[in-house]
């Protein structure tokens, strides 16, 4: 196979616990889902960008928006998001799956491409080195890119194995923990040709080979995602400031460095860990 079919799946639903309906809330004239979709599909490594929402009637508006805007959409289980992703990946015939969440309206296509290529870079030689790649891992692991630029990538084979073997609630709800659990990056990070970037590699406790993209300096404490009303207010300020949607993550970084007071609105929001689960799940 000379080129793997690479599909980004944006997960989102209307019943978010901290900000219900957030995926369709307005950011500078467009729903957040539109912002994520538009920016995600600019990534050059992607063959398709699709949305995966739930079969719950509350997500009928999500499907309706997708249909109206000719956006591929799949509906699956509300809480078993791993199953939703797996079924969506099969439906869209993906060889490589890119996980993006619908609450990341400043997702960066260049950073997405850098992460995807960790999986697909040697595909034509049948020597794909990694089962899973990311530009961050959730707490208790570490990150060096701002929260809200999160990209996770895996092969279909790895996703299928996780779908078959994962049994814990957090493994099913957060899609990919089964792939990276138990990983420790004890060796020195490998420098990359891209400026300020390095790579950590290791094996997870389930035997998957993992790659994590890092940035120096460390900007992992910055928060550019939307879980709360305060987060939403910040993203509205950011988009209003630029007046367009093709700004880069470095543009947002420069804005925060120039106008730090703009970014204090959501400073008290606590980021969830990989082990938090929705208590509404039965």
Q: 3-state DSSP call for residue 149? A: coil
Residues linked to residue 214 through DSSP beta bridges, in sequence order: 198
Give mean pLDDT, residues 216-228.
96
Q: How far apart are CA 122 and CA 129, in angstroms?
A: 7
**Nearest Cα to Cα of residue 186 among 201, 206, 171:** 201
Q: How far apart are CA 159 and CA 157, in angstroms?
A: 5
Give mean pLDDT, residues 55-84.
97
Secondary structure letter of residue 185 according to DSSP:
-
Residues 105-122 pLDDT 10s: 999 999 999 999 999 986
Q: What tokens does 86 get?
A: 């797996």
- In this prediction the pTM is 0.93
**Is a pLDDT exceeding 50 seen at residue 280?**
yes
Q: How far apart are CA 11 and CA 281, in angstroms?
A: 17
Q: How far apart are CA 281 and CA 181, in angstroms?
A: 22
Residues 180-207 pLDDT 10s: 999 998 777 888 888 899 999 999 999 9
**Nearest Cα to Cα of residue 50 among 62, 64, 30, 66:** 66
* Extended beta strands in 71-156, E state: 73-76, 96-101, 132-134, 152-155
Give the Å distances, CA to CA, from 203 to 95, 145, 186: 21, 22, 11
Residues 5-40 pLDDT 10s: 999 999 999 998 889 999 999 999 999 999 999 999
- Mean pLDDT over each residue of the chain, to the nearest integer: 92
């Amino acid at each position: 196979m000379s080129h793997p079919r690479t599909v980004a799946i944006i997960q989102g639903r209307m019943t978010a616990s901290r900000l219900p309906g957030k995926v369709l809330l307005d950011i500078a004239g467009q729903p957040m889902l539109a912002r994520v979709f538009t920016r995600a599909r600019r990534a050059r490594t992607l063959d398709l960008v699709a949305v995966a929402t739930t079969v719950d009637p509350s997500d009928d508006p999500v499907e309706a928006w997708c249909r109206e805007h000719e956006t591929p959409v799949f509906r699956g289980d509300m809480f078993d998001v791993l199953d939703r992703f797996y079924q969506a990946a099969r439906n869209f015939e993906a060889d490589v799956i890119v996980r993006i969440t619908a609450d990341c309206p400043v997702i960066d296509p260049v950073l997405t491409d850098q992460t995807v290529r960790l999986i697909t870079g040697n595909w034509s030689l049948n020597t794909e080195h990694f089962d899973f790649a990311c530009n961050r891992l959730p707490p208790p692991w570490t990150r060096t890119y701002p929260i809200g630029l999160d990209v996770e990538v895996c092969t279909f084979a790895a996703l299928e194995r996780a779908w078959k073997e994962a049994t814990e609630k957090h493994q099913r709800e957060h899609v990919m923990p089964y792939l990276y659990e138990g990983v420790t990056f004890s060796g020195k990070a490998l420098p990359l040709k891209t400026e300020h970037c390095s790579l950590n590699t290791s094996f997870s406790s389930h035997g998957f080979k993992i790659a994590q993209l890092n940035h120096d300096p460390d900007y992992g404490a910055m928060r550019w995602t939307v879980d709360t009303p305060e987060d939403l207010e910040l993203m509205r300020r950011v988009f209003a400031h630029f007046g367009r949607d093709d700004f880069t993550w470095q543009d947002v970084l420069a804005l925060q460095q120039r106008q730090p007071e703009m970014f204090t609105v959501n400073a008290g929001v606590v980021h969830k860990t990989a082990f938090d689960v929705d208590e509404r799940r039965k």
